[in-house]
């Protein structure tokens, strides 16, 4: 049965056109609301906010109907895009809010070391292992040092530790702290980030850092200036080394996810790893940042050893309490409660 549009009618309409005609009012209203809000719902008036979810639901329903009716593709694309834009507006959580922050510091962050215990353990073994081995070997026989570290670097370090540490001006301390932050945190970041290469990068950084530090320490001891270097590194040591281990652990987590996702596809494994890894990153940034301040302001000062040693013990105790004792206790309590 053919159809001739009446001469007065303006256009030839298909089912899609009729569908559009019926609903375009609300779609346009919806679209303009999304435009007005741009990225924050705060820009909408209270009435608009009340209406928004309704319009969203209606447009979603229209999209579903349009699809099942098999309407024109550019129509469903339009609706799809309209809904997609609004989805972000409606469902995106605020980037930062108080409860999320407190949850992070009271719950997620302390838990990160235990949660990723295998990675942390492996990282610690790699790092402290290489550190201990090179320290042992080089302090017995200083000539070995040259195989790990260049001669010029060794000389440079020997020079700095020839005399007992002397203390610096405030300006010097600020400058050096900034240097330590940018240098050490960068190394830690690299140790972490290189984990994406199937963990190989983190492995390399952990071993290399361990070897380097152990060699330097061993060499200085061998040369007889051991007391000086100990006096310098004592105060900030625990924090900095813990930070390095955590960074390596985070990198290894990434590596695990890339190599064998376990029960998950690689993409999903990476998604999960991302959430595991983030608190570790926050942890090592805080540790190394704190260590940098101590290294800049405290370590170079000629204050009595017991104070520096006290700081070392205190920082170790805090690390232990926050990252090990507190989360373990919470887990214990939770398990008891469940009976």
Partner 1 sequence: MGSRVAAWFVDALAQSLIVACAAVLLQAALGGSSVLDDLGKIDTGRGLAIAFYLILLFLLKWGYYALFEALMRGQSPGKRAMGIQVVRTNGEPLDFPSIAVRNLVRSVDDFPGLPLLGFLVAVTNQKAQRLGDLAASTIVVRVRRGELTPPETARLSERTAAIPVAGMAKTLTEAELGVLRKFLNERSLLPEALIGKLSARLRAQAQAKTGFEGRGLDDVAFLEAVYRAHAVAQPTQGPAEPPAARTPPEGGA
Subset of residues 21 to 80 that bind partner 1, contact rule: CB under 8 A: 21-22, 24, 27, 31, 35, 39, 68-75, 78
Question: Could you give the CA distance from residue 73 to residue 272 in angstroms, rounded to a whole number?
Answer: 36
If the CB atoms of residues 138 and 176 are measured against partner 1, the closer one turns out to be: 176
Q: Is the dihedral of CA 25, 27, 33, 35 positive or negative?
A: negative
* Binding status of residue 12 toward partner 1 by CB under 8 A: yes
* Binding status of residue 293 toward partner 1 by CB under 8 A: no
Smallest gap from Cβ 124 to partner 1, in A, equals 21
332: which 2 tokens? 């214990």
If the CB atoms of residues 5 and 304 are measured against partner 1, the closer one turns out to be: 5
Using CB under 8 A as the criterion, what x/- string covers residues 87-106 for binding partner 1?
xx--xxx-xx----------
If the CB atoms of residues 17 and 51 are measured against partner 1, the closer one turns out to be: 17
233: which 2 tokens? 């590194």
If the CB atoms of residues 177 and 309 are measured against partner 1, the closer one turns out to be: 177
If the CB atoms of residues 151 and 170 are measured against partner 1, the closer one turns out to be: 170
Provide the 10 A C-beta neighbour count for residue 148: 20
Smallest gap from Cβ 283 to partner 1, in A, equals 12
Taking CB under 8 A as the criterion, the residue among 60, 133, 137, 197 binding partner 1 is: 197
If the CB atoms of residues 102 and 141 are measured against partner 1, the closer one turns out to be: 102
Using CB under 8 A as the criterion, what x/- string covers residues 247-286 for binding partner 1?
-------x------------x--xx-xxx-xx--x-----
CA distances from 173 to 188, 240, 249, 279, 323 (A): 22, 17, 30, 29, 29
Residue 70 gets the label, from left (phi > 0), alpha (psi -120 to 50) or beta, of left
Question: Could you give the CA distance from residue 82 to residue 211 in angstroms, rounded to a whole number?
Answer: 57
Task: Report 112-171 residues binding partner 1 (CB under 8 A).
Answer: 166-171
Q: CB neighbours of 188 closer than 8 A, spacing ≥ 6?
A: 243, 244, 247, 284, 285, 288
Taking CB under 8 A as the criterion, the residue among 53, 156, 172, 224 binding partner 1 is: 172
* Binding status of residue 85 toward partner 1 by CB under 8 A: yes
Question: Could you give the CA distance from residue 242 to residue 246 in angstroms, rounded to a whole number?
Answer: 6
Radius of gyration of the chain (CA): 31
């Amino acid at each position: 049965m053919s159809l001739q549009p009446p001469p007065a009618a303006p256009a030839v309409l298909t089912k899609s056109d009729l569908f559009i005609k019926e609903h375009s009012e609300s779609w346009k209203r919806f679209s303009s609301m999304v435009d007005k809000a741009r990225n924050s719902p705060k820009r909408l008036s209270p009435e608009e906010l009340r209406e928004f979810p309704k319009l969203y639901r209606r447009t979603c329903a229209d999209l579903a109907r349009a699809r099942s009716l098999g309407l024109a593709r550019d129509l469903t694309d339009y609706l799809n895009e309209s809904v997609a834009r609004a989805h972000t507006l409606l469902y995106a959580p605020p980037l930062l809010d108080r409860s999320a922050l407190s949850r992070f510091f009271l719950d997620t962050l302390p838990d990160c070391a235990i949660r990723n215990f295998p990675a942390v353990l492996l990282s610690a073994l790699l790092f402290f292992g290489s550190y201990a081995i090179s320290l042992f070997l080089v302090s017995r026989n200083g000539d070995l040092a040259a195989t790990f570290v260049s001669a010029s670097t060794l000389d440079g370090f020997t020079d700095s530790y020839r005399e007992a540490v002397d203390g610096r001006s405030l300006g010097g301390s600020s400058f050096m702290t900034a240097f330590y932050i940018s240098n050490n945190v960068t190394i830690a970041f690299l140790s972490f980030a290189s984990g994406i290469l199937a963990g190989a990068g983190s492995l390399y950084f952990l071993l290399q850092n361990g070897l380097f530090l152990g060699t330097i320490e061993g060499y200085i001891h061998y040369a007889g200036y051991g007391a000086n270097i100990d006096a310098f590194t004592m105060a900030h040591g625990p924090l900095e080394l813990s930070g390095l281990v955590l960074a390596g652990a985070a990198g290894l987590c990434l590596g695990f996810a890339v190599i064998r996702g376990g029960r998950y596809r690689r993409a999903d494994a990476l998604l999960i790893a991302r959430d595991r890894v983030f608190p570790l990153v926050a942890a090592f940034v805080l540790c190394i940042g704190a260590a940098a301040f101590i290294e800049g302001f405290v370590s170079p000062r000629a204050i009595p050893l017991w104070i520096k040693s006290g700081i070392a013990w205190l920082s170790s105790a805090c690390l232990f309490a926050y990252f090990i004792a507190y989360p373990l206790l919470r887990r214990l309590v939770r398990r008891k409660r469940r009976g």
